[in-house]
Chains A and B, each alone.
Chain A
Amino acid sequence: MLRGSRSFHAGRGIMVLALALVAFGLTGCGARKLGSGEPVFWPPDPNPPRVQFLKGISASKDVTGDKASVKILSLSNEEEDTNKIIAKPYGIASNKGRIYVVDTIQNNVAIFDLVKQTYEILPGSKGQGKLKKPINIAVASDGNVFVADTFRKEVMMYDEMGNFVRAYGKDIQMKPVDVAVDDKNIYALDISNNEIKVIDRQSGDLAGSIGKGSETQQGLSLPTNLTMDKDGYLYVTNAGTGKVVKLDRDGHIVHTFGGLGDSFGEFGRPRGISVDDKGRIYVADASHQNVQIFNETGRILMFFGDPGYVYESLNLPAGVMVIRDNLDYFQKLAAPNFILEEVIVVTNQFGPVKVSFYGLGQMKDFKGYDNIPKPAPKGKGDAEGKK
């Protein structure tokens, strides 16, 4: 931004330059241009950077390239047909580099691959498999896709190709808002009953309900989102209590953390949740408009995506997931020497970017937090020097 101001005003003398700088100062660091090219990191200086904004997507052309712009000249409606926008995304999932984004306005699922530059709409969402109000999505280890639909009050299953297979829950009283799957069961998060419905994948029968509290433990309360970690533990965000509840598949509440509030580690409206292979827990918050990262014991590590940037900040974040697929592709988007470990993908219900990609990593020469040189204490000499 600063560099741009200087070149624009180059011929008008120092006064104009000074005015431009004042203007820059007034607009503040939050007013970045769309994709200004300067890396945006969290946490901010002088902390060592750990998360970088990498890329934003809001329509198919962001994935397939700018092919649509040529067709505008034909003055037809082809552009709309060709450039499929993502209107209001919520749930997000991935499988082998393919990313699934649930659109709750268009009632479909966008499936795209950034490396292969492909973009399609879930083909099975028609006829019996038609989605009415899809919210969240999960992909099983066998590649089958499960979508929680709150209007149909069912969990819809599609195969790896996106063809409709079957719907679960017709005879089960529930309003599924999110879903997780293992090889045996479907875990449908039932917001209306504050519990998780465990449905046998084979028979479609209800195998049990878990997540209710006990005399000594508070259970789920207005649960909105659900994820399963690599060890099979379930994590649920609760709008009612602001807590993250970790359960095992038997329904035992193993751990609880968070709460309603605006302090670090607390939530306003906790939503999407994801756990990486190292046990780090990522929770999107629509109220704080950020993603907070916790360690496996629920201790907050950092947060990112807070308002301040037009393009790089989150806007009503909803779903979050962590991926390690196509890391080479994302590494090319990262700042030089910022080495990525994994990529955090967040959906935004509002704003210019509907799917935001952030890289978690660290600078190549980072030697650990113990080796950060401490700033020199400000002595009298400094103050006098400034006079």
Chain B
Amino acid sequence: MKMLAFVPFALAALLLTSAGNARGDSCVTSACHVEISKIAVPHAPVKDGDCASCHNAVSKEHPIKGGKSFQLAAKGGALCTGCHDGLASKKLVHAPVKGGECVACHKPHGSSGRFLLDKGDDQNPLCTGCHDQATFQQRFMHGPAAVGSCTECHDPHQSQEKALLKQNVRDTCLRCHSDFANQLKAAAFQHPPVKKDPCTICHDPHGSGVPMFLVKKMPDLCISCHAPIGKKIAEAKVLHKPIKSEAGCSSCHSSHFSKAKGLLAFTEMETCLSCHGTDKPPLKNIKKEIANKKYLHGPLKNGECKGCHDPHGSNYFRMLGGSYPETLYAPYKDGLYDACLKCHEKNLLRFADTTIYTKFRNGNRNLHYVHVVNSRKGRTCRVCHAPHASSGEKLINVEGVQFGEWKVPLNFKTTATGGSCAPGCHRPLAYNRDKAEDYSIK
């Protein structure tokens, strides 16, 4: 019995629904507005046949030839905001939204894709209808921009953030690059801009002509902050070649974070030897050169190559920190041997006689002076000393020194008060600091 009490309500409801459908059905028939019925994803009122929620009849006749018997319930955006409210309330509003041009993007009756958009998942064709297409056709593209997932990062209607981003730049990036975020947090050394600034300082979020869609190519990008390095590489006569390669600064540096000082990819020596430890001419294999050697040059002992070489470039041979002759013979002049003498005794080669600056002397006769300050044939340091490592004390070239095709032996020995040398350069000679040897031939 109780059930019967509900019957009138149920009938009323059925009547109302069928009446609505009846209105829709009367608009969309096989003869009229037939295209509306073919829409894959119709607008909810269309689906419900509620045409009158947007269209009002202004004339009893329909259709009127050459006239309009219906008009929109409201003008511009006001028609949409009746249902879709609050899409223009934030700091930044997408221009079409602000101008009530909803139909610039959306199809009011329905579309082939979601959100009344007609372009499918690739939003690029839709967005580039207004936005410059070139931005999205770069050689190197950011994934979302490449596949047209613009709304992964941007809110199409409004935002509190610039560029209609859904969050601030860093958070927008890190919500996908979460793995990177974790590594950054754990890293010993972090590039300060990576730590706090928007990623867009260095990267173009859509794409660019440079790998990793950097805003500029390296090293230009890096030296826009690291100006002294820029000045150095602009002026250096001898430039470290990787700087000008495609990988640029990141040939040695890890741009975001690193375990090693100076944001190097590895420790200083490992980084250098990753190239200079291979048999790839013209590079020498320094790794091989120093392997199993008892004595390493001081800076190398501390794992430093930059003690002598400037890793970016310098005005001197082999990117040394000071002058050093390129040739085997170069008579000493003030400043010519600065690369060595900036650490080693500055007065080593200034005086023919000394009791102070070297133990390599016969009596007070400075034998370094004899060898190097020779106006015709000043022997450079490398003739007797190895620059990187040696099995002999004072980095003496115990295995001999390469002289064209001949490896000239040195046969250098020391005693308590001097030593001797039987090289491929001159007859065997001894030297004694306390009691000078007589070199005259009797």
Interface stretch (choices A86-94, A157-165, A245-253, A272-280): A245-253
Contacts of A249 in B (CB 8 A): 355-356
The answer to whether B347 touches A252 (Cβ under 8 A) is: yes
The answer to whether A254 touches B347 (Cβ under 8 A) is: yes
A82 CA to B350 CA, complexed, in Å:
56
Contacts of A252 in B (CB 8 A): 347, 350-351, 354
Contacts of B357 in A (CB 8 A): 248
Kindly state whether residue B171 has any CB partner on chain A within 8 Å: no
Tell me the minimal C-beta distance from A161 to chain B in angstroms: 33
The answer to whether B364 touches A250 (Cβ under 8 A) is: yes
The answer to whether B355 touches A250 (Cβ under 8 A) is: yes
What band does the interface of chain A fall in when counting residues whose beta carbon is under 8 Å from B?
Answer: under 10
A248 CA to B354 CA, complexed, in Å:
9
Contacts of B347 in A (CB 8 A): 248, 252, 254
Classify the interface of chain A: helix, strand, loop or mixed: loop
A97 CA to B369 CA, complexed, in Å:
43
For chain B, the count of residues having a C-beta within 8 Å of the partner chain is 9
Contacts of A351 in B (CB 8 A): none
Tell me the minimal C-beta distance from B348 to chain A in angstroms: 12
Using a CB-CB cutoff of 8 Å, which residues 311-356 of chain B contact chain A? 347, 350-351, 353-356
A252 CA to B350 CA, complexed, in Å:
9
Contacts of B351 in A (CB 8 A): 248, 250, 252
Kindly state whether residue A44 has any CB partner on chain B within 8 Å: no
A254 CA to B356 CA, complexed, in Å:
13
Contacts of B354 in A (CB 8 A): 248, 250, 252
Kindly state whether residue A65 has any CB partner on chain B within 8 Å: no
Question: Per-residue CB proximity of B360-379 to A under 8 Å, as 1/0?
Answer: 00001000000000000000
Kindly state whether residue A35 has any CB partner on chain B within 8 Å: no
A123 CA to B292 CA, complexed, in Å:
63
Kindly state whether residue A232 has any CB partner on chain B within 8 Å: yes
Classify the interface of chain B: helix, strand, loop or mixed: loop
Tell me the minimal C-beta distance from B295 to chain A in angstroms: 25
A250 CA to B364 CA, complexed, in Å:
10
Tell me the minimal C-beta distance from B397 to chain A in angstroms: 29
A254 CA to B351 CA, complexed, in Å:
10
A174 CA to B146 CA, complexed, in Å:
92
A6 CA to B79 CA, complexed, in Å:
83
Contacts of A254 in B (CB 8 A): 347, 350
A149 CA to B350 CA, complexed, in Å:
35
Question: Per-residue CB proximity of A216-242 to B under 8 Å, as 1/0?
Answer: 000000000000000010000000000
Using a CB-CB cutoff of 8 Å, which residues 44-89 of chain A contact chain B? none
Contacts of B353 in A (CB 8 A): 250
A336 CA to B355 CA, complexed, in Å:
48
Tell me the minimal C-beta distance from B410 to chain A in angstroms: 28
A254 CA to B348 CA, complexed, in Å:
11
A249 CA to B354 CA, complexed, in Å:
9
A140 CA to B357 CA, complexed, in Å:
23
A232 CA to B347 CA, complexed, in Å:
13
Closest to A252 in B: B351
Contacts of B356 in A (CB 8 A): 232, 248-250
A254 CA to B334 CA, complexed, in Å:
12
Most chain B CB within 10 A, of A248, A249, A254, is at: A248
Question: Per-residue CB proximity of A367-383 to B under 8 Å, as 1/0?
Answer: 00000000000000000
Contacts of B364 in A (CB 8 A): 250
A252 CA to B356 CA, complexed, in Å:
11
A254 CA to B354 CA, complexed, in Å:
12
Closest to A248 in B: B356
Using a CB-CB cutoff of 8 Å, which residues 375-401 of chain B contact chain A? none
Using a CB-CB cutoff of 8 Å, which residues 245-288 of chain A contact chain B? 248-250, 252, 254
Most chain A CB within 10 A, of B350, B353, B356, is at: B356
A232 CA to B356 CA, complexed, in Å:
9
A249 CA to B350 CA, complexed, in Å:
14
A248 CA to B350 CA, complexed, in Å:
12
A249 CA to B364 CA, complexed, in Å:
12
Extra contacts, 10 of them, besides A232-B356, A249-B355, A250-B353 (Cβ < 8 A), are A248-B351, A248-B356, A248-B357, A250-B351, A250-B355, A250-B364, A252-B347, A252-B350, A252-B351, A252-B354
Some 7 contacts from A to B, beta carbons below 8 A apart, are A248-B347, A249-B355, A249-B356, A250-B353, A250-B356, A252-B347, A252-B350
A-binding residues in B (CB < 8 A): 347, 350-351, 353-357, 364
Q: Which 3 A-B residue pairs are closest in the complex by CB-CB distance?
A: A252-B351, A248-B356, A250-B355
